[in-house]
Structure 1
Amino acid sequence: MKEPLGKPRKPVILQVLPALETGGLERGTIDMAIAQKEAGYEPLVASNGGMMVRELDRHGIRHITMPLHSKNIFRMRKNATRLVDLIKAEGVDLIHARSRAPAWSAYWAAQRTGIPFVTTFHGTYNFKTPLKKAYNAIMVKSDRVIAISEFIRDHILANYDVDPAKITVIRRGMDLDLFDPQAVPASRVVQLATDWRLPDGVPVVMLSGRLTRWKGQTLLLEAIAKLDRKVRCILVGSDQGREAYREEVEALARKLGIDDKVHVVGNCRDMPAAYKLADVVVSASTDPEAFGRVAVEGQAMGRPVVAPAHGGAVEQIDHGVNGWLFKPGDADDLARQLEAALSLTPEERVAFHERAIENARTRFSKAQMAEKTMALYAEMLARQSKHAPVLPEGALAR
């Protein structure tokens, strides 16, 4: 709502995305909306809705339901008109799009209203045809582009016609209050170990990610089969209806003779405890991840992390210092790096624990992500000559 006359006007930031069900894009949207409110902005979020809307409600942040998930050109055009009406009614100062379909609607609305338009480039977005590439290109038609990693920045410059000066790298930030080993009592870890029927004294190697081929579950099983030691391999994540792939993973474990070592546990509602339970956290994605939060979440919990040497992982891990990198798709090299992680002495593990946490906290905090994003907003609003927001002292540190 617009501020009453005589009161200082808060900058109004509208974020648009397809829906608020689950995922890193959605998590980043909510984190930024909360940070905006704490920093003295008036946040609005528009999407097709979903279960994560409740979190916005808890923080007193308004959500506007709109079919922004639709890729139908006529509905996208109609969404643009809806956004224009919303922008005018709420006095929106800047619109921030986080996905392609809503970005097209936001682009048209920004053109019609003259407000700044920002996009976040969250992935590599497949483009097998010129038409698909033209559709993707909306993500670089904004006034400023946020890339969530150097890998994504390089991808944008290699594949799209865009001024490099428009691109700002702002890495995803983790909730370091949630992913804090000191905040996870032993009772939660014991409960998970009991639920998963894990034997005492056997090292746990954990891969977290939905059960889909490119996440590399089968690659990890091949590597586990090469280890000459007792170990438990935990695969955390939903198959999301991919029952055939789940059966393939379980069949491969039997074929490799390691089905007694492998636990496919499905979703986990307490990931901080799951990370704390693990002796080694693995990301085994066969395709480069734009960012990939598993490695950083594992580091934040002080765990040894093994990840492929491509995509965002190479920006998160210093090989042998706060994690290990393996040759992508190479089960032999993955097994070697797992062996290195599992062979740490107690003293080495303590030192590693401290280095991993320090890396996560100094480079990938949610507060850091919010501060950099807010600085970009302030720059865009100042250019617009409406007002350069003056933030409450210390707001970004909260």
Structure 2
Amino acid sequence: MGQGRLVYCKNGDVAAELAALGDRPAQVTGGPHHYIGTFLQWSEDQPVLLLSFNRHSGSHRTARARARTLHWGPRRNPLLGPFAKLRMFLTTAARILAFRPSWVLCAASGPPLWACYAAARMLGVPFVHTRHGRFGGGSRRWNRQLETWLDGWVILHAHAVICHGPYLREQLLALGVPRARLLEFNLSYRYLDAHRAPREAPSDAGGRTVLFVGRLQKAKGVFDLLEAMLPRLQADPRLRLVYAGGGPDLARLRERAAAAPCARQIEVPGYVPHDRVPTLVREARVVVTPTRAELPESRCKAAIESLVLGRPVIAPDAGPFPYVVRHGDNGLLFREHDVADLARQIGAALDDEALYARLLEGARRAGAELLDSSFNFRDALEAAYARSALALPAPQTR
């Protein structure tokens, strides 16, 4: 890539991520820092400004990169919400304009996205959007609908749009993004290769453990899973339910698990280091990802990693999951928000050995297919940079 000054605006805590990685990180494979690590590798020696909003503010600076995590906390008074969003917009735009970049990449939505686009237009530089979450949310509130419309308008005016996986690709095509400007990437899961086991007999696979891996919050379906599993746990003292992860509902989940009659069979250890997750998956009979519709899931990494590791997945029949989990082949799909159907599918995976043998073999095949990606996030960055550099002024849309 040529000489330039680059902006990357994203969700999360960029100051903490830069402090953890440094501005020239070694190969980042998987884990929570994958995207920012890949961006820093790809940007080589270019000056970089990283921006994000979080509940905690912070900053970190290295020889070529500066990161600012700006405060965005919950507002007790809803009347202050519009003013807080205006502040987000103005703060983001001001920092980008002061940095004077030659290229702007934004992975956020709402005011930071609008500010990135506005600043890029004011400076006359390319603007690229990278999408990692579901577009829109189906809210009926007029202000949320307006924000979704503004997000869509900005995305349609981006010089290039990067997205993760086929579900987001279809959403963006439906929005009206031209195929010529859309770059779909997938992640490589080669970092899990050492943890993949040879072909197993169903009797050797995972014993009687049902596993959840991910952020512990209601929208991830953690309480739905507990409700679905309680009758099974009480009926089978050999059965275990394990939740691996941290999150805002960790304490509440622990309280409910401790109050259950089968509390000894439920484990909620909290945060688990990423390098320990493969062992937990390999020890499970099945992995459940019961995400609810209110969470804008786009490409459930826990489901894909589980398949790569050879474990069947039980997931809802909506959103990105049917693109990965094939019902009756490498996993089972349940009707979204239907706890009774979730319980039935878990029961089938536990009780039907012939079915489980097929699922295990299907997961092994799917894992081999998902292991590598011919076009990854770094490839998408390179292609977006090349395309957007030739695309000024901003393209017209229909």
TM-score, shorter chain, exceeding 0.5 = yes
Letter of the 2:121 counterpart = Q
Q: Deviations over 1:85-107 (max 9, x none)?
A: 212xxx52343343323212212
Change (3 A) 1:183 1:305: closer
Preserved CA contact (<8 Å) 2:330 2:361: no
2:182 aligned to which of 154, 168, 187: 168
- Aligned counterparts of 2:57 and 2:313: Cα–Cα separation in 1: 31
Paired residue secondary structure (1:170)? strand
| Partners of 2:249 and 2:269 in 1: CA distance | 15
Which stretch of the first structure deviates more once superposed, 166-175 or 102-111? 166-175
Q: Distance in 2 between matches of 1:367 and 1:43?
A: 24
How many Å separate the matches in 2 of 1:73 and 1:117?
21
Contact 1:19 1:68 in 2 (8 A): no
Q: Deviations over 1:81-131 (max 9, x none)?
A: 2211212xxx52343343323212212211111111122332345444333
Name the residue aligned to 1:20: 13
Give the structure 2 partner of residue 285 of structure 1. 291
Q: Is the 8 A contact 1:66 1:79 kept in 2?
A: no
Give the TM-score, by structure 2 length: 0.71
**1:217 aligned to which of 222, 234, 237:** 222
CA RMSD of aligned residues (A): 4.0
**Cα distance in 1 between the residues matched to 2:47 and 2:368:** 33
Q: What's 1:388 paired with? A: none
1:296-319 per-position Cα deviation (integer Å, ceiling 9, x unaligned): 121122211111111111111222
The separation in 2 between residues aligned to 1:320 and 1:61, in whole angstroms, is: 51
Match of 2:22 in 1: none
Q: What is the CA deviation profile of residues 323-361 of structure 1, one whole-angstrom value per residue up to 9, with x for unaligned ones?
A: 222222233432343344344569757634531322322
Match of 1:148 among 157, 160, 164: 164
In the alignment, is the contact (CA less than 8 A) between 1:15 and 1:98 conserved in 2? no
Q: 2:71 & 2:97 partners in 1: Cα distance?
A: 14
User: Which residue of structure 2 aligns with residue 394 of structure 1?
Assistant: none
1:98 maps to: 108
1:147-189 Cα offsets, whole Å, 9 max, x none, are: 434444555677x6x5555863635525531x334389xxxxx
TM-score under structure 1 length normalisation: 0.71
* CA distance in structure 1 between the partners assigned to 2:195 and 2:59 by the alignment: 29
Report the CA distance shift for 1:274/1:37 in structure 2 as closer, same or farther (over 3 A).
farther
SS in 2 for 1:281: strand
Q: Distance in 2 between matches of 1:353 and 1:78?
A: 47
Tell me if 1:264 matches 2:277.
no
Deviation >6 Å, runs of 4+:
21-26, 49-54
Distance 1:361 1:44, change over 3 A: farther
Change in 2 beyond 3 A, CA 1:131/1:103: same
Which one-letter code corresponds to 2:7 in the other structure?
A: L
For residues 202-229 of structure 1, what are the alpha-carbon distances to aligned partners after superposition, in whole Å with 9 as ceiling and x for unaligned? 4211012333222222322333245465
Q: Secondary structure at the match of 1:139?
A: helix
Which amino acid letter does the alignment assign opposite residue 212 of structure 1? Q
Query: C-alpha distance in 2, partners of 1:354/1:16?
Result: 37
Alignment of 1:111-130 (within 5 A): 111-121=121-131, 122-126=133-137, 127-130=139-142
2:327 is the alignment partner of 1:325: no
Instruction: In structure 1, list runs of 5 or more residues that go unmatched.
Output: 1-7, 185-199, 386-398
Aligned residues: 347
Alignment of 1:378-397 (within 5 A): 378-384=386-392
| Residues 1-398 of structure 1 aligned to structure 2 (within 5 Å) | 9-20=2-13, 27=33, 29-37=35-43, 44-47=49-52, 62-65=65-68, 67=70, 69=72, 71-74=84-87, 76-87=89-100, 91-121=101-131, 122-126=133-137, 127-140=139-152, 141=154, 142-143=157-158, 144-152=160-168, 162-165=176-179, 168=182, 170=184, 173=187, 175-177=189-191, 179-182=192-195, 202-227=207-232, 229=236, 230-240=238-248, 243-244=251-252, 246-251=254-259, 253-254=260-261, 258-269=262-273, 270-287=276-293, 289-342=297-350, 343-344=352-353, 351-362=361-372, 365=373, 368-384=376-392
- Percent identical among aligned pairs is 23
Q: Which amino acid aligns with 2:162?
A: I
Is the contact between residue 51 and residue 69 of structure 2 (CA under 8 Å) also seen in structure 1? yes
Distance in 2 between the 1:26 and 1:118 partners?
22
Asked if structure 1 preserves the Cα contact closer than 8 Å seen for 2:168 and 2:298, the reply is yes
Structure 2, unpaired ranges of 5+: 18-29, 74-83, 198-204, 394-398
CA distance in 2, matches of 1:16, 1:86: 13
Q: Return closer, same or farther for 1:350/1:293 CA change in 2, 3 Å cut-off.
A: closer
Choose 120-129 or 213-222, whichever is displaced more. Answer: 120-129
